[in-house]
Amino acid sequence: MGTAIVWLRNILRIHDNPLLDWACASDEIDSVIPLVVLDPARGIEEEGGLSPNRMRFLYDSIVDLGDRLESEYSAGLMVLYGKPKKAIPLIAEELGPGAWLLCDYRPEPESRHEVSDIQASLSAMGVQSKVFPSVGTILDVEDVIGSEGYRNPKSSSDIGNIMRRSLGEGPDGYLVPKPLEPPEHVKFDKGTFDSLRSSESISGMVVTKGDIAERAAELGVGELYFGGGESEALERLRRKVSERPEFVNEFSKPSTMSTNEMGSPMEPSTTGLSPYISTGCLSVRTVWDECAAANLSSDHTKPPQSLIGQLMFREMFYLLSRSVENWDNDVGNSNCMPIEWGELDEELVSAWEAGMTGFPYIDAMMRQLESTGWMHHLGRHAVSCFLTRGQLWQNWKHGRDVFERKLLDSDWALNNGNWLWLAGVAPFSMPYFRVYNPCPDSKSSLNAETEEASFVRHWVPELASYPSRYIFEPHLAPIEVQEASGCVIGRDYPNPIVDRKESRRVNLALFKESVGRIS
């Protein structure tokens, strides 16, 4: 019998938690230490690291998890600040032989190597370890990519075939395992927990709930529209999915509005669940189960447009992130054409990031990202295309890094996959010559609301009084209209930083030239 360190790397929840479920059922475990490690190497509380919004979301999620453990199980959550390679062996040394380490699988190379090194250190101490697959995904990533006949998926049908082989299929769809219920009890020994927190080797790394409150206040952000934590995740799931089967059954992602719900510039026209899934506050199996329940015995949209289809694409990118070497790079990456992007233009990239390009739709999206940490997928399509092959001809990794810092739902596998896709360089990309118009009209595939243009008016208040006919290209408005609207372009709001039509023409020629050299 021993104590299990339940290292919650990316599973900030109690429901569908295989680590807690296994520990509570195992005869080899008599108590657990739920643990979160805030690693400065991951950009946590580091200058140039995660944005204040992302940090606040993470803090909210940790506090919520701690509160749930305390109120529902009379258990504590240990939070440490430091490198896991140092912190976890110190905990194991305090607990002694017979202890266990349980953690969730992550596909990125740094995470896999980190766990391997920690396991080696613990093994020398007589401490056993167990890494749980399929915690943040539906598929067992390592099992699938190691299976006979595996090929990198490039489409919805490819990932569908992989899921069929891996999970099986019944009359109602793929046989995705049901999410686990929250444990009936958590084996928790307060004496062991308190002794460990106060030990000389650990105490200097301990972060209390009060510390988190102070650090959150220092971030200088108010209450987030997307509040972090499992409690908020389950509430949003209920409100947006479970109680709206007709929404689920009619959902078609390409048809959703990029400018959010009508009359509510903060609320997504999609589910808004992605931040909770990416941080492990919400189980992807739970979301799948709720969507499948809505689809049961009802007419509904099919993959790839359906919500189920979107979860399948998520699985696809997770597999690729593990099976494609240098997934996060444009060199040595079999899923990235070697396009000769322009030299980094800091002025252009800074204007793009700040929402000061002179293209109001692009600027509204980037300002929404800065303010809330979220952006509709079509908005992401538009700003990504604009930065890369569309208008600015900048390397996709510059935009990827901005999204990594700011998006609440940023995820290593998905963020890189989406940027590869939208830069036009991946096998699964749309044709490179399909460039989004950054000045959408009512017929645009970006699905922007243009009649009232309330989204742009909200996020680009300089243009709040502009007539809708000019608001997406305000530099074309007659000077008397600009003056009457209280915003003269070039003085109160920037002129376009590029000629969108000319830059598109030049960039497509450059892309075609690069493709020609490759072939």
Contact 108, 415 (CB under 8 A): no
**Domains parsed from the chain with CATH numbers:** 1-135 (3.40.50.620), 230-323 (1.25.40.80), 346-518 (1.10.579.10)
Distance CA 203, CA 143 (A): 39
> How much is the pLDDT for 516?
78
**Is the pLDDT reported for residue 124 higher than 80?**
yes
Count the neighbouring beta carbons within 10 Å of the beta carbon of residue 422.
26
Task: Report, as an integer, the average pLDDT of 320-331.
Answer: 98
Contact 384, 421 (CB under 8 A): no
Task: Report, as an integer, the average pLDDT of 232-255.
Answer: 97
pLDDT tens column, 489-507: 999 999 999 999 999 999 9
**Is the pLDDT reported for residue 76 higher than 80?**
yes
pTM of the model: 0.96
519 membership: H or E segment, kind and range: none
Contact 88, 8 (CB under 8 A): no
Q: How confident is the model at residue 263 (pLDDT cuts 50, 70, 90)?
A: confident
> How much is the pLDDT for 129?
97
**Is the pLDDT reported for residue 361 higher than 80?**
yes
- At residue 78, the 3 state secondary structure works out as strand
pLDDT tens column, 17-48: 999 999 999 999 999 999 999 999 899 988 88
> How much is the pLDDT for 222?
82
pLDDT tens column, 374-421: 999 999 999 999 999 999 999 999 999 999 999 999 999 999 999 999
pLDDT tens column, 5-18: 999 999 999 999 99
**Tokens of residue 285, six digits:** 């199996």
Contact 240, 226 (CB under 8 A): no
pLDDT tens column, 140-178: 999 999 999 999 999 999 999 999 999 999 999 999 999
Could you give phi then psi for residue 15, rounded to 5 degrees? -70, 150
Biggest alpha carbon distance in the chain? 81
> How much is the pLDDT for 290?
98
pLDDT tens column, 83-115: 999 999 999 999 999 999 999 999 999 999 999
pLDDT tens column, 186-205: 999 999 999 999 999 999 99
In the chain, % of residues over pLDDT 70: 100
Helix axes 360-372, 396-406, angle to 10 degrees: 40
**Is the pLDDT reported for residue 120 higher than 90?**
yes
> How much is the pLDDT for 149?
94
**Is the pLDDT reported for residue 519 higher than 70?**
no
Average pLDDT, the chain: 96
CB within 8 A of 80, min separation 6: which ones?
Answer: 35, 36, 37, 38, 87, 202, 205, 206, 207
